[in-house]
Chains A and B, each alone.
Chain A
Amino acid sequence: MPELRLHNLTLGYDRHPAVHHLDGTVEPGALLAVVGPNGAGKSTLFKGIVGALRPLAGSIERNGRDARAIAYLRQVAEIDRSFPINVYDMVAMGLWRRKGAFGGIGRHDDAAIDAGIAAVGLTGFEQRPIGTLSGGQMQRMLFARLLVEDARVIVLDEPFTAIDAKTAADLLALVRRWHSERRTVLVALHDIELVKRNFPQTLLLAREAVAWGDTSDVLTAENLLAARRMCEAFDDDAAACAVAAE
């Protein structure tokens, strides 16, 4: 039973497709990199997968799972850094799916939160207001929150942009740990070399799927060239799509 099944999926804004007629499956425990030029539809695809964006056509099956149960790290966090909340409470928010608005946080949960903070190397930062964190520390805190969420399916949108190499390496180790725990992980990335070294499967996206499968088969020079030729801009004069909806 695949973890995710995409049926002829079209996602977009204002009737313009950003992801066009995408078909495919993601098996449980897969570690899938989603690669493509800017504007290829990677973020749009992830928003569709986590249920934040309704498809223009086609469908997404999530193996009976609630879309809200998928842990999602967005590309740009809309976090208000001036809000007076500390790292510990932000990471604790990861317990929401299990605790809701009123559930108490016991010693067991405290241990999970402490473990998450330690795994990202932020021990000692628990009482710091989030406004005092650097970019890399903020990203690590969001990873700690993901750890606390303890989800079976995890979606990361360009998690390593604008952070230093050491932090990126540490966070990548966490991704590999999730993979060894047989969680399904999807990561949107720009760094082709990083993908080749760490990700067994890749989807090369350029609004439509250019290639999807084992990384060595997908990230060939000719595929990458084909992807780069994709046009980023929406065509204001485009006609309604002729491919029949299923």
Chain B
Amino acid sequence: MLYDVLIAPFADFEFMRRALVGTFALALGAAPIGVFLMLRRMSLIGDAMAHAILPGAAIGFLVAGLSLSAMAGGGLIAGFVIALGAGLIARATPLKEDASLAAFFLISLALGVALVSVKGSNIDLMNFLFGSVLAVDNPTLILIAGIASVSLVVLALIWRPLVLECVDPGFLRSVSRAGGLAHIGFLALVVMNLVGGFQALGTLLAVGIMMVPAATARFWARDITGMIAVAVGCAVVSGYAGLLVSFHANLPSGPAIVLVAGVFYALSVAAGPVGGLLWLAVPRRHLEA
């Protein structure tokens, strides 16, 4: 009985197995990035960049149809352009990064939807917005897995300057030139993972598997390694459970995955060991020292 609920959908159907591998790879690559985005107070910037990818992917779609390389390539280019453009505008004009990115993302979302509607059907639009994790083919799977592998390697390489750039950027500037490179490398990782997430979860939810587990992790760990471990675990379990929920309850899979992650988040806000609301309500005696 338990087997039927938990294992059978994946044992019986290849598309479910593919979707599971895809979401696991996504979880491994995106969750650590999400933790850094959250710690750098760039959570909404991640969201904005996910939407910014849409017009790039839409142009790829217009040019070459549902070709993975065209859409992924277009998405990557658009993502980098927006990331660098917003950064430049923040440095050169009085408008801060959050406002310039807000402007970019609204324009990108509208532009992307308009472009897709020119040639695509409603189903195409739905896939762009909400993803099609149940329809990942081998090339897409290889792309997602490749992105996750590259992400983990690059993150390990830029770890030290990235952490220092988050906590004490002035000190990093005074001892090294690595800060700028680490920042750009990090943005590149964000864009890559969003492009990967876009294939599986669509533009509106790609950032969901990046940010919701990261927000959850805040309530379980006090050090960054612990946070990343919790975020990855949460993302992986959300992918698995979300696919099961979508299979048994006949719901779209992208939203189901993000909803399961959301349930974990809500539980953590309520009862997580680090700052959960429950512990504020329960009176506990203070310690001796």
Contact = CB atoms under 8 A, between A and B. Distances in A.
Given A84-B222, A84-B223, A101-B161, A78 B168 contact: yes
B163 interface: yes
A178 interface: no
A141 B28 CA distance: 35
A35 B169 CA distance: 27
Interface string A114-130: 00000000000000011
Interface string B189-227: 000000000000000000000000000000001111001
Contacts of A85: 163, 167, 223-224
Given A50-B174, A83-B167, A90-B168, 4 more contacts: A84-B39, A96-B172, A101-B158, A145-B171
A78 B170 contact: yes
Interface residues of A, number: 23
Max chain A Cβ within 10 angstroms of own Cβ: one of B160, B169, B223, B224: B160
B39 A97 contact: no
B164 interface: yes
Given A84-B221, A84-B222, A93 B176 contact: no
Contact of B160 (A72, A74, A102): A102
Contacts of B221: 84
B166 A101 contact: no
Contact of B170 (A68, A74, A100): A74
Contacts of B176: 68, 96, 100-101
14 contacts: A68-B174, A68-B176, A79-B167, A79-B168, A80-B166, A83-B39, A83-B224, A84-B221, A86-B223, A93-B171, A101-B157, A101-B178, A129-B222, A145-B171
B168 A97 contact: no
Given A68-B176, A84-B222, A84-B227, A93 B164 contact: yes
A52 interface: yes
B174 A90 contact: no
Contacts of B167: 79-80, 83, 85, 90, 130
A83 B166 contact: yes
Contacts of B158: 101
Contacts of B227: 84
A239 interface: no
Interface string A76-113: 01111001111000100100110011100000000000
Contacts of A129: 222-223
B interface, over-half SS: helix
Contacts of B174: 50, 52, 68, 72
Nearest to B274: A84
Contacts of B164: 93, 96
Interface in B128-165: 157-158, 160-161, 163-164
Nearest to B162: A101
Contacts of A77: 168, 170
Given A52-B174, A68-B174, A101-B158, A78 B224 contact: no
Contacts of B168: 77-80, 90, 93
Nearest to A97: B175
Nearest to A92: B160
Nearest to A72: B174
A125 to B, nearest CB: 14
Contacts of A97: 175
A52 B175 CA distance: 11
